[in-house]
Amino acid sequence: AQSVSQHNHHVILSEAASLELGCNYSYGGTVNLFWYVQYPGQHLQLLLKYFSGDPLVKGIKGFEAEFIKSKFSFNLRKPSVQWSDTAEYFCAVNPSGGYQKVTFGTGTKLQVIP
Amino acid sequence: DAGVIQSPRHEVTEMGQEVTLRCKPISGHDYLFWYRQTMMRGLELLIYFNNNVPIDDSGMPEDRFSAKMPNASFSTLKIQPSEPRDSAVYFCASTLNRVRYGYTFGSGTRLTVV
């Protein structure tokens, strides 16, 4: 079975700082990868996804993620964070082809200080 | 599109009472998922359906939990009898037959069992 690790549980940044949240997965085959964001008191929303092609994926609100197959990683980045980016971020993975179950990481809480 | 609709948004009930959570997936989506989110355990998949048929209920914590999907536009998650440790936010999500599109989550039901 696949698993997802998000090593940073809580990140605090000042506005305009650059962001990188780590995500590593374990699965031997081809995968689909996702980042979701959950703003305080709200539901999870899809931020970006990767399933094939260019390993650098651009999502909404200036976020991007890079799939590095050799490192089993899918790190989320943003060059300059805003206070409104304060939220919890979840990485998720599922094997490509047929089986639908998605495994979520434990999440990283991002706090952006004005 | 109204998105995934869950009701109620908040539920406070006494221990031992029956609780029913409801979900209306996005029209045309053929996969429906029930998740539970707590501070301690994060996001847990309870059960998921494909074309109204339960596929994997291995995440259902115990026999007190049951889920049904009588038709493509409605699902319920029932807890009977409820216990304080069931207090959590319960999310419903749906997706098309290719999970690469990502899940669309509902706004969740915050359940408090006192």
Read off the pLDDT of residues A63-85 as tens digits, 9 standing for 90 and up: 999 999 999 999 999 999 999 99
Burial of B75 (0-12, 13-18, 19+ CB in 10 A): buried
Contact status of A107 with chain B (Cβ, < 8 Å): yes
Spell out which chain B residues touch chain A, with contact meaning CB-CB distance below 8 angstroms: 31, 42-43, 45, 48, 50, 55-56, 91, 93, 95, 99-108
A32 burial type by CB count under 10 A (0-12 exposed, 13-18 middle, 19+ buried): buried
Interface of A with B in 44-73 (CB under 8 A): 44-46, 49, 51
Burial class (CB in 10 A: 0-12, 13-18, 19+), B48: buried
Using CB atoms, pick whichever of A43, A100, A106 lies closest to residue B99.
A100
B74, B63 contact by CB (below 8 A): no
What per-residue confidence (pLDDT) applies to A74? 97
- Per the listing, tokens 């304060």 go with A86
The reported pLDDT for the residue numbered B101 is 72
Model pLDDT for residues A13-64, shown as the tens digit of each residue: 999 999 999 999 998 788 889 999 999 988 899 999 998 899 999 999 999 9
> Average per-residue pLDDT in chain A?
92
Cα separation, A14 vs B86, whole angstroms: 36
